[in-house]
Structures are given as C-alpha cells and as structure tokens.
C-alpha cells in the first residue's frame, strides 16, 4: 500500500512573488453569511469581524426562529444569537443559488445556547442527497462548526438538516466563502476540515476574517518539543492560498536542532484519506554561512525536497493526491534537515483536510425546478417535500417515484398528486418532467382545459385526470396517442370535458361539400402520372436486381425511442434467441403450415403456451447473418399494438427464423377475397382495419429511430388477430432482405407489382412516402375489392381505373358491391380522396401517414356514429364513441 501511493505523492511548490492578490484583501464579495432564525429582511455587521450577516428567511421556507439565552450573548458572536429550529418534518433544506465551477468554504455553526430545555441533540447535516456530517450537541454553551471546501457541480446547493432520532435539529449560522477554484483541488470528493493550525503562534485566540481574507478560522498550535520563532517583519503571503500574515510570521522549529519535526495524525480510522497543505517562509535572518534545508517525508518515504524556505515569502506545499494510512495504520509526516543544513526545519502553518465523498447524484436540475414550481404553483402543503425529490430514497417526496439506477442521475418517472386539493389549471411545469411515465392528478379541483403539452411528453404512458372540473375538449394529438395505444388516459367525472377531438362539428359539414372538386383535381393529376406507373410496371421485369438498402442505417445502434423506458411487453422482455432445436419443438417438427410469405414458409407453433407464427427464412433470402442479427435486434424493440410483434428469433448457421405473435384471422386479402368464408367485412370494419394499419405504419415512420420504411405494404401484409384487430406484418425486414414477390420466394425484386411507388422505381430513392403510395392502393382495395392489377380492365392499375371512373362521375360503380350500399357515401368519398392523394405521382405531394391516420379516424368515427343510429353531428355521441374505443387502452401497448 505504501508503494502504491508513494509514486503519486509528488508535491508541488507554489511560489508567487507578484502582488496580484493584494487588492483582494479583506473584501467580503463572494461571501454569503446567513444568520439563521433572524427576522426576514434584517441584517447586521458583526462587531469583531465586520462581516455582514443577513437573515436566512429567503433561503428556506420551514423552521421556526428561536433565541439563545441572553447570558450567552456576551460570549458569542452575534450570528449565534438567533437560531432556526425544525420541529416539523424529517428533512428541511436551505437552497442557495451559486455558480457551477466555483469553490466555496462552507461552514455550518451550531450553538444551542439554551434555546429550549434539551441541549443534547443528535441529527444529520446533508449536502444535497449526501450525508455531510453527524451533528451532536451535549452542552448548551459549546459552539460547534463544521467546515468543508466544495467545488460546485451544480448551480444550486442544498444544505439539509435531517432528523434522525427524537431531537429537534437546529442551526445558528451558515457561511459560504468563495475561494480560488485552482486551490484545494482533489482527485475526488470534497475536503472536510480536520485541522487548520497557526504553528508556533504567540496568540492564544483563534482568528478569522479581518486577518484571513477567506475567513478561514485558524487555531494557535504548539508542540511540546518544538520552539517558537517569530519575526516583526511582514511575510509576503501572495500565492493562491493566501495564508494569513499573522500565521506566517510565527513558526516552530525543533527544540533539539538535530531532531526531525515529526507530525502524526492519530486517533482516526485507518480508512480516512487526507490532503495536507503546509505553508513555509524563512523568518530568521540567515548569515551567509547558514542554510536551512530539509526534506519532507511521509511514512518514511521521500515526498519533497530538499527544500529551502524563501526569505519572508510564502511557499505552500501540498499533497496533490490523497494520503492514506500505511500498513500500521499510521499517517506520519517528518521534516528532516539535510546534511548541508546548518539550521533545523521549520513550519509556519498547516492545514489538514479529510476527503468526503458525495457519491449520490442529485435529480436533474430541470426536474427539481419543475417540482419546486409545482409545489409553489399549487401551494402543495407537504412537509416532506424538501430537498431532492428522489434521493436519498428514505426521504423521497411522497407521490414521487424515481428511477433507481446505480451511478445514474435519478429521474422522476411518476407523479401522483391524487386527492391533494389542487386547484387552478394543469400547470405547464409538468412538461419539464421529461422522464415522466405516470401522471395522476385525479380527485382534485383542477379547472381549465386539458393542455396539449401532455401529448408531447413522449415518455408518458398513463394520465389520470378523473374527478376534476376540467372542461373543453381533449387535444387531438393526445387523442391520437390514446388511439395508438401509446398512452392511457382517464377522464371520468369531468362533466365539462368533451372527449372527442372535434367538439366543434361545423367544420365537418363544410368539408363534405368540397370533396368533389378536390377529388376531380386529384384525378387529373393522377391520370397524368398514371402513364408513368404503367410504363414502369411493365418495364419492371426486365431489370434483374435493384440495389437495396438505399435507406440509411446499418442497424447497429438502433434505439427505439419509445421503448427505452420499460415500454416492452413482458413477452419480449428478453431478447429471445432460440436454438434450431427449440424451433423444431415449438413447431412440433414443422407440423402445420400457415402460409408462404415473401421470405419463406410460415409454420404454426406454441411458445410459452402462446400460439406463434414461425417464419423460416429461405437461405437465399438472407444477405448476411450479421446484418440479420442487427435487424432482428432492432425489430425486437419495435412494439406497437398495430404491428405484429416479433417475440424471438433463431439464427443457427443457415437456419434462420423469426417468431411472431400468431394472428388467428389471417391476412386482409383473404378476407376481402372471400377465401375466409362468406362473412363480409363491413365498411366500418374496413375503416377500422385501415385506421389501425395506418397507425402501425405511422409509428414505423415517426415513432421509430431509425425510421423504418416498410417497403412492402399490401393487403397480404395486414394481418388480423382473433379480435379482428389489424396489425402490419413483415416490416423492417426489407432493410436487410430482398423482398420476394407474392408468389416467388426467391425472386429478388423490390416491392410488389401494383403497390410499388413509381417515383421510387424511377429514382431508386426510397422514402416513407413510398409506403404512403402503397397504402393508398390498399385503401382503394378496401373500397373497391378489385384486383390491384387487372389486364382485362379498361385501366389495368387500380389507381388509374378509379381515377377514370371518378372523372366520369361514376363513384357508385367503384364501391365493392358486397357492401350492398351499407355505408355513408361521405366517408367513401373521404377515403377515396385520401387514397388518391396518397397515389400522387410526386411523393412530396402525398400526405404523411399522420394525416392519413387522422382522416381515417374521422371517417371511422362518422361511420360508427351512423351505425349506432345517431346523427353524425351530435358531438356527445362522438365523444362517447371515442371513450369506449380509446380510453380503455392498456398501459402496455405490447401485442399481448
Ligand atoms: C471594521 O470597520 C470599521 C470601520 O469601517 C473599522 O474602523 C474597523 O477597524 C474594522 N474592524 C475590523 C476588525 O476590520
Ligand atoms: C434562486 O434562483 C431561483 C431561480 O432559479 C429563484 O427563483 C430563487 O428566488 C433564487 N433564490 C434566491 C435565494 O435568490
Ligand atoms: C473555475 O472558475 C472558472 C470561472 O470563474 C471556470 O471557468 C472554471 O471552469 C472553474 N474551474 C473548475 C475546476 O471548475
Ligand atoms: C459545558 O461547557 C462549559 C464550558 O466548556 C463547562 O464549564 C460546563 O461545565 C459544561 N456543562 C456541562 C453540563 O457539561
Ligand atoms: C520531547 O523530547 C524528550 C527528550 O528528547 C522526549 O523524551 C519526549 O518524549 C519528547 N516528547 C514528545 C511529545 O515528543
Ligand atoms: C524588530 O525586532 C528587532 C529585534 O528582534 C528590533 O531590533 C527591531 O527594532 C524591530 N524592528 C521594528 C521595526 O520593530
Ligand atoms: C521522527 O521520525 C523519524 C523517522 O520516522 C525517526 O527516525 C525519528 O526518531 C523521529 N523523531 C522524533 C523526535 O520522534
Ligand atoms: C558562521 O560565521 C560566523 C562568523 O561570521 C561564525 O561565528 C559561525 O560559527 C559560522 N557558523 C557556521 C555554522 O559555520
Ligand atoms: C551539499 O553538500 C554536498 C557536499 O557536502 C554537495 O555536494 C551538495 O551540492 C550540497 N547540496 C546543496 C544543495 O548545496
């Protein structure tokens, strides 16, 4: 152990002759002196130091003022005459605004002074979330001071008094003294004062400001076998440490000039670590044949020297690294004269500090501010809402829950202010809680509207606003998130609240009247572009291979933005990598084929008692195993209720498979074609499927990082579960897999004929708008139930054909006859309009999926309202539909 630290114990000599710091002398700037317990707004100048103390009332909201007995007032400085005691609450905190990177000497002073009948107290002093020291008073007439030197890592410092037993914490004065932040540096932690000694002092009283520019308190100090020497000249003290002149004009030398000056730290635990600062100046007049030269040793290891103190000028020598005990538990410094020296060593002043660590990080400043703003904004009356909201855990604010990850800054993840008598509006400060997942404001008296910022809080998963007096409408973006399943919202018992996004219904009617001209103009645009589509589709087959992956991303560092905070469904909590033999077992030796998809054969299987679909990838479809893994890891993180969930994968040599949740009702195409039986998908059912798959796609485009372009949107990739909920399948694979056509497994072609974006085909530039195009085709299929490409039709491509029919004003002839006229023509129009804009040859003129989702949801609401036999324009009905549909969404959007 000795060897280990001796190498790093290089000492540094500081010798600054300039008078740079003379101007600093006795300047109180950079000092904050709080007289605890004195009335708000008062201040006074302390008689012996001339320091100005101010009331602490602006720095703390709790505690009560008390006074010491008048008898003690003559004995102690005025800042101890008042004190603040804390009979209420466990933790009470002072908050001081300081500047990050500044260094302060911080001193807390305690004098009981008989302010109550129990002078014996025990409590703790905390710096932010960390223990600074235990305070224990036994005698009302003994003043205690705890001091540390601390380099600020935040702009806000909290000093808390923490009740640990029965006694009531109190504090007399709190002092902050700004130091030069290049001094007293440590490798880690802060410095707690162990001793600060004026060695060889002739005075018996300690001293502070007025003599020490930084208001350090110096104690006179003499050793038994040492002698004092002194000078009546002044010593230059102008280095960064600026020890007081009074300390430097006196020094100790060993009484026996041949003896070493030995200095041990004793009576401490062996685990303590120290920093030592020694200040030297030659204060004897040496004749030309005299020298004073010595070495500084630590535990018999050479530390520094040979060193000759400068005449009447200060050198400060310090340990740049902490010193620890040797194997015998000893901490021993020794100043030893060299052979050439005619004089013994000397020591003028000495400071020893122990290292104190503050390992617990405080909560992010912004989140703390938000909580403080909420506390004052709502006048929250909770005594435990003091100090850091999250840490330490024992003193966490009630209603607040935080992430508890070791060595990480705590984050507020839930806030429960249910039944806290809150009044007024929902305050925007909440939006500064950027990691919040659960917000419960239920059973208060909150008024005003539901603010839009809630929708933008991307981590929020659960909002409970029930039992308030909110009014107005729920913002559409919030409704969208509810609909998407990314948020769960409770609003019961707010009688004034209209839950539909569109309480004002006049807009709707107006829109319907302009549908026809819009469609007409779209049609003509489409017809111009249609030629290109035909040409490209015909030409397609001649190209053998398209360069793939024009999209960004190797997929090595994908982070799914919305899945970071425990968003994943339990099924996929772990990356499920399975062996091939697992796969054989799951599928019962590939017993039942579910279908043949673009990438291989799909088998039925059972994993953890849940049915799954196992997609065996054909060898030739894989571009590379490594890429496969990266892709799969990305897909394992993508969870949305409208996307089929990947629950596992297998990669063993050339045996690669993907395991998805099982979708009991097959794909959309089977249902439209009647292959699944005679039952007909209603218009409402189709709209619901359209809206759900649009949401899934919107999520791939906007909710995933990196963005995922599906590249193969078509009716066979929209699957239906046992509840006829639609989910998109086969997304993401296209990034590392060439796509198969509908029938041929191994043909390397991008996209499926008819669904393919002509612009992508032309430019090879893939964007999410290519998916929008394909989705437009799906919408037309839902309306018409016609093949996408039919050579026998007047126009082979479904888009061209619909365009032609519309230009003839023949809308009824395009609608699937199986619907038997059971639909609201307005919604058909609206969806046709949307589909046609999706098919715009120019990708920039296509809508985003977000717009498509909104259009479809509006139509779905209208159709649902119609089916419930109520008038479309009745907003109360709208809202009840939204409620039943949306607000029951589970917290976890996972597939199961
Ligand atoms: C305090 O200030 C007064 C007047 O400014 C001065 O006369 C006195 O010497 C000062 N005392 C100390 C200890 O600095
Ligand atoms: C500290 O700064 C905050 C703003 O960040 C301010 O609201 C507060 O009043 C300040 N406290 C004091 C004592 O100046
Ligand atoms: C010391 O303070 C200065 C500004 O006064 C700041 O720029 C610097 O970063 C601080 N040094 C440290 C170690 O924090
Ligand atoms: C308290 O301290 C004072 C001065 O140090 C001493 O005279 C007195 O006896 C002490 N009282 C008790 C109760 O220990
Ligand atoms: C002081 O010196 C005497 C004689 O050299 C020695 O016996 C004694 O132990 C010393 N005391 C201390 C505290 O070092
Ligand atoms: C300093 O002290 C010496 C004796 O040690 C004395 O002779 C001299 O006059 C003193 N100088 C002053 C300025 O007081
Ligand atoms: C001081 O320490 C040195 C080295 O550890 C030792 O040799 C010497 O005897 C000590 N001197 C005194 C006076 O304790
Ligand atoms: C230094 O010189 C003085 C005379 O100038 C003499 O008295 C003294 O002994 C010398 N000291 C040493 C250590 O040689
Ligand atoms: C000390 O004395 C020796 C000879 O006795 C000499 O070689 C050495 O340079 C001297 N050291 C210093 C620092 O003067």
Domain boundary pick from 544, 574, 604: 544
Residue nearest to atom 3 of ligand 3 (CA): 101
Q: Is 615 annotated as a binding residue?
A: yes
Residue 298 sits in a domain whose CATH number is 2.60.120
pLDDT band at 522 (very low <50, low <70, confident <90, very high): very low
Residue nearest to atom 2 of ligand 9 (CA): 340
Minimum-distance ligand 3 atom for the alpha carbon of 152 = 14
Position 222 scores a pLDDT of 86
Whether the model pTM is above 0.85: no
Query: Residue 79 in contact with residue 42, Cβ under 8 Å?
Result: no
Position 895 scores a pLDDT of 30
Tens-place pLDDT, residues 152-162: 999 999 999 99
CA 382 remoteness from chain centre: 26
Residue nearest to atom 6 of ligand 7 (CA): 260
Query: In this predicted model, which residue has the larger pLDDT, 539 or 602?
Result: 602
Residue 464 sits in a domain whose CATH number is 3.80.10.10
On the question of pLDDT at 220 being above 50, the answer is: yes
Q: How far apart are CA 451 and CA 894, in angstroms?
A: 27
Phi, psi of 121 (to 5 degrees): -135, 155
Tens-place pLDDT, residues 663-684: 888 888 888 888 887 777 889 8
On the question of pLDDT at 740 being above 70, the answer is: no
**Gap from CA of 231 to ligand 6 centroid (Å):** 8
Q: Is 264 in the pocket of ligand 5 (CB under 6 A)?
A: no
Within-domain flag for 555: no
On the question of pLDDT at 779 being above 90, the answer is: yes
Q: Based on the domain organization, do 343 and 385 belong to the same domain?
A: no
Position 700 scores a pLDDT of 87
Within-domain flag for 285: yes
Minimum-distance ligand 1 atom for the alpha carbon of 48 = 13
Within-domain flag for 384: yes
Query: In this predicted model, which residue has the larger pLDDT, 105 or 628?
Result: 105
CB contact set of 120 (below 8 Å; sequence gap of 6+) = 137, 138, 167
Pocket of ligand 7 (CB under 6 A): 259-260, 262, 300, 334
Within-domain flag for 266: yes
Position 505 scores a pLDDT of 36
Residue nearest to atom 12 of ligand 4 (CA): 139
Q: What angle do CA 104, 159, 147 make, to 5 degrees?
A: 45
Q: Based on the domain organization, do 176 and 197 belong to the same domain?
A: no
Q: Based on the domain organization, do 591 and 631 belong to the same domain?
A: yes
Cα–Cα distance list, 330 to 268, 270, 395 (Å)? 9, 8, 38
On the question of pLDDT at 523 being above 60, the answer is: no
Q: Based on the domain organization, do 832 and 699 belong to the same domain?
A: yes
Position 448 scores a pLDDT of 93
Q: Based on the domain organization, do 295 and 372 belong to the same domain?
A: no
Q: Based on the domain organization, do 239 and 334 belong to the same domain?
A: yes
Q: What angle do CA 820, 822, 825 make, to 5 degrees?
A: 110
Q: State whether residue 831 is helix, strand or coil.
A: helix
**Gap from CA of 211 to ligand 1 centroid (Å):** 12
Q: Based on the domain organization, do 843 and 722 belong to the same domain?
A: yes
Minimum-distance ligand 3 atom for the alpha carbon of 101 = 14
Share of the chain above pLDDT 90, in %: 49
Query: Residue 312 in contact with residue 250, Cβ under 8 Å?
Result: no
Q: Which range among 505-519, 728-742, 817-831, 866-880 has the greatest average pLDDT?
A: 817-831
Q: How far apart are CA 408 and CA 396, in angstroms?
A: 16
DSSP secondary structure code for residue 664 in this structure: T
**Gap from CA of 347 to ligand 8 centroid (Å):** 24
Minimum-distance ligand 5 atom for the alpha carbon of 224 = 13
**Gap from CA of 101 to ligand 3 centroid (Å):** 5
**Ligand minimally distant from the alpha carbon of residue 342:** 8
Q: Is 255 in the pocket of ligand 5 (CB under 6 A)?
A: no
DSSP 89-143: SSEEEEEEE--TT-EEEEEEEE--TTSSS---EEEEEEETTEEEEEEEE--TT--
Within-domain flag for 858: no
Q: Based on the domain organization, do 651 and 719 belong to the same domain?
A: no
DSSP secondary structure code for residue 57 in this structure: G
Position 593 scores a pLDDT of 86
Within-domain flag for 686: yes
Position 370 scores a pLDDT of 95
pLDDT band at 598 (very low <50, low <70, confident <90, very high): low
Query: Residue 738 in contact with residue 763, Cβ under 8 Å?
Result: no
Mean predicted confidence (pLDDT) in 314-322? 91
**Ligand minimally distant from the alpha carbon of residue 185:** 3
Q: Is 6 in the pocket of ligand 4 (CB under 6 A)?
A: no
Mean predicted confidence (pLDDT) in 760-786? 86
Tens-place pLDDT, residues 558-568: 222 232 332 22
Position 631 scores a pLDDT of 67
Asked which of 217-226, 247-256, 523-532, 645-654 is least confident by mean pLDDT, the reply is 523-532
**Gap from CA of 184 to ligand 3 centroid (Å):** 13
Q: Based on the domain organization, do 351 and 393 belong to the same domain?
A: no
Q: Based on the domain organization, do 80 and 150 belong to the same domain?
A: yes
**Gap from CA of 290 to ligand 8 centroid (Å):** 8
Mean predicted confidence (pLDDT) in 340-348? 96
Q: Is 289 in the pocket of ligand 8 (CB under 6 A)?
A: yes
Q: State whether residue 441 is helix, strand or coil.
A: coil
Mean predicted confidence (pLDDT) in 235-248? 94
Q: Is 288 in the pocket of ligand 8 (CB under 6 A)?
A: no
Q: Based on the domain organization, do 680 and 816 belong to the same domain?
A: yes
Substitution site in 340, 342, 343 for ligand 9 pocket (most atoms within 8 Å of beta carbon) = 340
Residue 99 sits in a domain whose CATH number is 2.60.120.260
Minimum-distance ligand 2 atom for the alpha carbon of 58 = 13
Query: Residue 369 in contact with residue 389, Cβ under 8 Å?
Result: no
Within-domain flag for 24: no
Tens-place pLDDT, residues 357-413: 999 999 999 999 999 999 999 999 888 899 999 999 999 999 999 998 888 899 999
Mean predicted confidence (pLDDT) in 778-798? 89
Q: State whether residue 886 is helix, strand or coil.
A: helix
CA 175 remoteness from chain centre: 34
Q: Based on the domain organization, do 404 and 504 belong to the same domain?
A: yes
Catalytic-role residue among 712, 757, 771, 816: 712
Pocket of ligand 1 (CB under 6 A): 50, 210
CB contact set of 736 (below 8 Å; sequence gap of 6+) = 549, 555, 622, 623, 624, 627, 628, 630, 631
Residue 765 sits in a domain whose CATH number is 1.10.510.10
Q: How far apart are CA 404 and CA 409, in angstroms?
A: 8
Give the count of domains, the chain: 5
Asked which of 257-261, 351-355, 525-529 is least confident by mean pLDDT, the reply is 525-529
Question: Is 667 a catalytic site residue?
Answer: no
Within-domain flag for 17: no
H/E segment holding residue 518: helix 506-540
Query: Residue 597 in contact with residue 883, Cβ under 8 Å?
Result: no
Which structural domain range is residue 629 located in?
Answer: 560-661
Structure tokens that stand for 794 in this block: 């007047």
pLDDT band at 30 (very low <50, low <70, confident <90, very high): very high
**Gap from CA of 97 to ligand 2 centroid (Å):** 6
Could you write out the three-class secondary structure of 616-653?
EECHHHCCCHHHHHHHHHHHHHCCCCCECCEEEEEEEC
Domain boundary pick from 544, 575, 597: 544
Domain boundary pick from 544, 579, 610: 544
């Amino acid at each position: 152990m000795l060897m280990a630290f001796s190498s790093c114990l290089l000492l540094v000599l500081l010798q600054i002759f300039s008078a740079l710091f003379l101007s600093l002398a006795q300047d109180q700037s950079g000092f904050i002196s709080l007289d605890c317990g004195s009335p708000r707004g008062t201040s006074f100048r302390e008689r012996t130091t001339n320091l100005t103390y101010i009331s602490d009332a602006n720095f703390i909201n709790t505690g009560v003022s008390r006074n010491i007995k008048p008898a003690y007032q003559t004995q102690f400085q005025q800042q101890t005459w008042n004190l603040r005691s804390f009979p209420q609450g466990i933790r009470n905190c002072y908050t001081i605004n300081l500047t990050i990177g500044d260094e302060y000497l911080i001193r807390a002073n305690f004098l009981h002074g008989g302010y109550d009948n129990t002078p014996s107290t025990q409590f703790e002093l905390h710096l932010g979330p960390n223990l600074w020291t235990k305070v224990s008073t036994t005698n009302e007439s003994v003043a205690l001071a705890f001091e540390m030197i601390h380099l600020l890592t935040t702009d806000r410092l909290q000093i808390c008094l923490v009740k640990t037993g029965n006694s009531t914490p109190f504090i007399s004065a709190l002092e902050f003294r700004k130091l030069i932040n290049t001094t007293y540096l440590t490798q880690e932690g802060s410095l707690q004062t162990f001793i600060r000694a004026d060695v060889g002092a002739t005075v018996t009283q300690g001293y502070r400001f007025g003599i020490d520019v930084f208001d350090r308190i110096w104690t006179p100090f003499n050793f038994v076998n040492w002698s004092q020497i002194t000078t009546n000249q002044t010593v230059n003290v102008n280095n960064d440490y600026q020890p007081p002149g009074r300390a430097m004009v006196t020094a100790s030398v060993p009484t026996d000039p041949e003896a070493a000056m030995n200095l041990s730290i004793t009576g401490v635990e062996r685990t303590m670590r120290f920093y030592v600062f020694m200040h030297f100046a030659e204060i004897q007049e040496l004749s030309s044949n005299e020298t004073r030269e010595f070495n500084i040793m630590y535990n018999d290891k050479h530390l520094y020297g040979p060193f000759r103190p400068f005449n009447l000028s200060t050198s400060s020598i310090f340990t740049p690294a902490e010193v620890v005990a040797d194997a015998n538990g000893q901490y021993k410094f020794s100043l030893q004269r060299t052979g050439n020296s005619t004089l013994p060593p000397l020591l003028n002043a000495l400071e020893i500090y122990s290292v104190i660590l503050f390992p617990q990080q405080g909560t992010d400043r912004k989140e703390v501010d938000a909580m403080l703003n909420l506390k004052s904004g709502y006048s929250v009356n909770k005594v435990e809402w003091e100090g850091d909201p999250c840490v330490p855990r024992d003193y966490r604010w009630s209603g607040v829950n935080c992430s508890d990850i070791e060595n990480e800054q705590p984050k507020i993840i839930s806030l429960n202010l249910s039944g806290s008598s809150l009044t007024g509006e929902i305050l925007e400060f909440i939006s500064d809680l950027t990691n919040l997942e659960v917000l419960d404001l239920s059973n208060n008296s909150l008024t005003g509207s539901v603010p839009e910022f809630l929708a933008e809080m991307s981590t929020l998963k659960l909002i409970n606003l029930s039992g308030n007096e909110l009014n107005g409408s729920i913002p559409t973006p919030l409704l969208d998130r509810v609909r998407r399943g990314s948020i769960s919202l409770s609003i019961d018992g707010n009688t004034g609240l209209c839950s539909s996004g569109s309480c004002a219904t006049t807009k709707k009617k107006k829109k319907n009247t302009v549908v026809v001209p819009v469609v007409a103009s779209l049609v003509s645009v489409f017809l111009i572009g249609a030629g290109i589509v035909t040409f490209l589709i015909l030409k397609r087959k001649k190209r053998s291979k398209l360069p793939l992956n024009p999209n960004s991303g190797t997929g090595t560092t994908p982070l799914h933005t919305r899945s970071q905070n425990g968003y994943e469904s339990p099924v996929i909590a772990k990356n499920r990598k399975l062996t091939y033999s697992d796969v054989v077992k799951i599928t019962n030796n590939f017993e039942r084929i579910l279908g043949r998809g673009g990438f291989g054969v799909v088998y039925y299987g059972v994993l953890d008692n849940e049915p799954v679909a196992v997609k065996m990838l054909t060898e030739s479809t894989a571009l590379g195993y490594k890429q496969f893994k990266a892709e799969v890891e990305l897909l394992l993180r993508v969870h949305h209720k409208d996307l089929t969930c990947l629950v596992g994968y297998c990669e063993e040599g050339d045996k690669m498979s993907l395991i998805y949740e099982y979708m009991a009702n097959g794909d959309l195409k089977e249902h439209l074609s009647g292959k699944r039986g005679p039952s007909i998908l209603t218009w409402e059912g189709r709209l619901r499927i359209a809206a759900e798959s649009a949401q899934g796609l919107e999520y791939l485009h906007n909710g995933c990082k990196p963005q995922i372009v599906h590249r193969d949107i078509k009716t066979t990739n929209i699957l239906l579960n046992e509840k006829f909920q639609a989910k998109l399948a086969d997304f993401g694979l296209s990034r590392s897999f060439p796509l198969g056509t509908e029938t041929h497994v191994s043909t390397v072609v991008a996209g499926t004929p008819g669904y393919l974006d002509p612009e992508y085909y032309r430019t090879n530039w893939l964007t999410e708008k290519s998916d929008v195009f394909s989705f437009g085709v799906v919408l037309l299929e839902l309306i018409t139930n016609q093949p996408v490409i039919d050579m026998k039709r007047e126009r082979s491509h479904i888009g061209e054909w619909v365009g032609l029919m519309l230009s003839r004003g023949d809308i009824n002839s395009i609608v699937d006859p199986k619907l038997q006229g059971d639909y609201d023509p307005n919604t058909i129009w609206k969806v046709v309009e949307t589909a046609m804009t999706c098919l715009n040859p120019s990708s920039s003129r296509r809508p985003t999926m977000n717009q498509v989702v909104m259009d479809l949801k509006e139509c779905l609401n209208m159709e649902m309202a119609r089916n419930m036999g109520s008038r479309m324009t009745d907003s109360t009905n709208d809202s009840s539909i939204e409620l039943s549909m949306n607000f029951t969404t589970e917290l976890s959007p996972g597939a199961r």
